[in-house]
Amino acid sequence: MSQAAANTLLEATRRQYLNDLKFVLSRDNKMKGVVTSTSRRCSMEGCNGIRVGVRWPDGKHTFPCTKGMVQVSPDTWRIG
């Protein structure tokens, strides 16, 4: 498989994961945020992650990058 094809496959796989993503847990596992959007590409140089809009129980709205998260279940990822 060519590098380009591998990248396309990786991207498709990531999008599939993100389609199922509904909740994000905070680093300390104490807060569970609700995903509001998955549309932004990460703008950090060299990062090919996607920034996910998350609304937290305390009212904050943040855009953590998927590169800084780990998937813990089909619909939930955790920061850190």
Task: Give residues in contact with Zn ion (CB under 5 A).
Answer: 42, 44, 47, 49, 65, 67
Residue closer to Zn ion by CB (options 57, 80) is 80
Strand intervals (E) in 1-80: 23-25, 32-41, 50-55, 61-62, 69-73, 76-79
User: In the bound complex, what is the minimum distance in angstroms from residue 49's beta carbon to Zn ion?
Assistant: 4
Length of the chain: 80
Residue closer to Zn ion by CB (options 25, 42) is 42
Residue closer to Zn ion by CB (options 49, 53) is 49
User: In the bound complex, what is the minimum distance in angstroms from residue 47's beta carbon to Zn ion?
Assistant: 3
User: In the bound complex, what is the minimum distance in angstroms from residue 66's beta carbon to Zn ion?
Assistant: 7
Pairwise CA distance, residues 26 & 32, whole Å: 6
